Structures are given as structure tokens and as C-alpha cells.
Chains A and B, each alone.
Chain A
């Protein structure tokens, strides 16, 4: 079978300290319910400088300058052990400061909703023109006009006609409401949607820059964030995907949005793979931007425990799925895992459905997978908030499932967790940590021969939408490319294929003997 392949992946981070304060829901809720709170008074003192965000080890992993397991060698807490001479430019992406990102929001705005103060806008235009990822955007022309007066911005914000944009505590712009009374087009919704659009467009620009994919080669874009755009008659009508492709001039592409909370990216990857394998499209990009609402989500616990506000990063990613090139790692579309409506909600039922069942279907065992990437939340963010180490919890469950499937002995549990796992490194931006942050590393580590087979897992908490108590989970397997099926394989690859086929045959025989 000619499986689709992962041709490349890019990752963008944006540090957005003022958005933490003014748009993160933990902070805005506190402002509404308890405006004189001690937390709101203390929080600004816990915000970190851009250089600290760049040198923060998990952020360096996210943009590809360090492998995830390198975090094991960096003493905890990581925020006290910055990477020396860290760069905001990474193998797979880049970290952008908020002042540049506000310029991007203005650039991607097609309805003149974003206003920036004149000197701020001019400076942003100058910096973005020198940013290699976006300097070619025709959309940057928007920064050459429409500069606003500070008084005009202040008036719009005061009259509740616009969401404020702050930088360094100073009001530098605003996002206007897009309709007089339509709640789906309010200033706050338009702000969130423009954040999602601008950050995803940044990730797509990074993908084109880093991988050499030409914008005109992109056939289809699947956007999989957790935002919804539309008006009061179709609140989630869409289409983020095309609006993002338009910015990067993917003129031959169409696209659509796919949603399933944090499992969205895994659903989108599976769908993209199917579209490519079926021959409907040759090049599909799966992407998502960041969620401003989640900035500072666990800030109260971080401040209480004396930590910096580590949730100051908007995350974004883009992945290119293409036709089999005989080299890039393949996506095993015959081993897609899914949590069915009837699977049950216990952790065991979930893991059985998304880990054991798809592997069994293709005569693989949990022990045949070198590494798993499930919910890759940075534990330094979640542990102080009482949510534990999420990736570690997943690895323990997978290892325990392996014991139940008789792939491992119970005494091996800790060693297995160590072997199949890695520390979490992604910002807690919902859909962003869910499996996909590892795809860039995974692709290169498979090409380097460090890994052979990886399982990517997305999980979603659907109850948050108050329509169902069902859980969601989707998984897929990424594997070393054994060579194109319709071309003679290289000798080395052919031997590998024979070895693999024999190993699978023996494994299957052993399984049937055990079953007897």
C-alpha cells in the first residue's frame, strides 16, 4: 500500500504577556468577579522577559533546537536553567515577540478591524519586513496605511466598541467589533479569531520557509484549532483554513476547518492522510494557531507558588502531508485508532481503543512502537496546578496496557515508561500539545535511524461543550519509509522490509501460540 508521508512540520511560538493580563480567561474572570484581588496585583510581577521565554528549555524543544529527551538532562525547574545563547530561530520554527505579532494581526485583518497607533505600527512594519518567514507577504502592505491616533484607540476602547491591544502595559491598538450587536462578531470574538488566524498564518509561513514547499503546490488546508468563526446565523460557519491560505498565497488550495477539542489535530492528520492516499489531493497542510483565552490559565497557582507566568506563549503548528516519496516517514492509514461512541469512558477502555486495538489490527504489539506522543503538556506548567505530569500519566497507562496485553512484565513498568516516553514540552494551548508537537522531531529522528515506529495520540474532553459526556481519542502510527510500493526498493530497504515481515510473522505466530 502506498501510504502518505510526512514531508515537513513547522512550529511557531508567540510570547504575549499583555494578552495574558487582558485576554486570558483566568485573568478576565478575576477582573470581573474580584477586581481588587491580590492575584491581579501580583501577576504582572511574575511575567517574564522575551529573552527568558526564548531561553526556556521547553520552548527551544518546541521550535526544534533541542530534542525532547534532552530535557531529561536539564535540572528542574527548567525556568531556572535557561539554555545559554538560545536563539528565537529554530530548526522547525521561531519564537515571535508580541510587538511583532500585533503587526501580523493587522496584516491578516481583511476588514479594517485592527487599529494600531502610528509609531507602533510603523516600527512593527519595519521589523516584519526584515523577518524572513513573512517578509514576502503581500498582506504586509496593510501596515503601510491606516495608522491610528492614540486618542482614537482610547475612545473606541472606552466606548466598548473595541478590544484593547496592549504592549508593555501601554495601549497601542485595538480590534473593533465587526457588527453593532452580533455577539458572534463582537470585539472579543474578532480578537480571538484574528489571534488564531495570524498565528496559524505565521506557522504556515514557517512551513513554506523551512521545508521548501511552494505555496502554489498546496492543494488543501485543514485548520484544527478550537476557535469558531461565523456570524449569529452560523456561529461556527468557518473557514479559517482558506483565510490563512490566502495570507500565504496558497492560490491553488481550498480547505476547511475540523474540530474535536484537543483531538482536532489528530482527526485532521488522519483526514489529510486519507485525502492524499486516495489521490484526491497531492499536498495537504494541517495547521492551527493559538488560543489567547488559555494564556495564564493556571496563573493563580503559578503566582501562589512563586513561579513565573509560564503560560505566556501562543502556540501554532503546520504539518505537510504528501504523496509517498519513498523517503519521508509514512503514516500507517491501516493502523488508525479511534475511541468509538460505544468504547466506554474508563481510562482503560480509552487506551484499549486508541492504542491496543489499532496495533492489533496490523499484527503489531505495544512493544513494537519505539515512542509515543500523546498529550505533550509541559509538566512544569501543569504540576503546580495539581493536574500532574500529563505525558507521564499517559506513558504509565500505555505501559500498564502493555502488561495487560502481555507485551511486558509488570516488573518492567518503569523501564518501559522511560523507553517509550519523553518529557512534555508544549504550551498548554489545548489542541497544540495533543500529539502533533513531536511530528517534526519524529520525522527527523526516523530519517536519522533513531526511531523506527511512533504512535501519535490526540485526546479530547468533549464534555466541555456541554453536548455530550463522551470522551474522544484518535491515534495514528508513523513509520520509517520502506520505499515506494510501486518502485523497486533499494537493497538495504528491501532487506529491512524482509526482516520486518519476518519479525511480524514470528510475532503473530507467538501471539497465536499464547492465545492457545
Chain B
């Protein structure tokens, strides 16, 4: 296992590794947000088994504007985590990062091979988030 010698700083500081590393850090931050939400989500949605009254009551509580905004932030986290995660799954199977070869000077790196794809996915994230924002805030119920 690769050791994180920088400790907590190593989680947030990308140093010279630039874009890919920040995408990776963001993947982890969004992942943490999503798992924390999942545990709360399980608790809240559990109210449905108590019937309509209990459900409407908990929905009234969670329909606070601030909580609604946090829900939208979480929506953005999920979209980013899913699409960037899709890229990481492809990379895991060696798709889109070039063929492995002998290292000869000047050394090349496969790290930036998915840069274009990454920007394309981030464009998709933006589009989905904008559509989601319309659904969250603009359209009437």
C-alpha cells in the first residue's frame, strides 16, 4: 500500500501533480459527503414505513431552504463523483491512458492522457447540474 507520508495535508495538497490530483482529491471529498448523506438519508426515508402522517411530518422538517440548498450541493457531488468515477473505472482497466511501453528518456506519462476526456466529463457535469438546478429551484411542483 502507498503510504501517505504527509498525513492529513497529503489528502488536500496536490503539489506538482496538478489537475488529475485535484480531481482525485475532489473525488474523495465528494465521496465523504455522499456517504455521510447516505446514512442520514436512510434514517429519514425510514419514516415512510410509519405511514403518510409521519412521512409528511419529516418532509416538512427537511424542506427547510438551507437543507434544500445542501441537498442541491449533494446533487452536484453525486454527479461529479459518478462521472469522474466512470473515468477512473476506465483508467483502472487501462482504457484511454495509452499502451504501456518501455520507459525511455524523455519520459512520458499516462497521467494526462485522459485530460480531454476529463474536460468533456466536466462539461457533462455542468450541463446535468444546470438541468438539475432548474428542477430544484425554477420549476413549480
- A and B: interacting chains: no
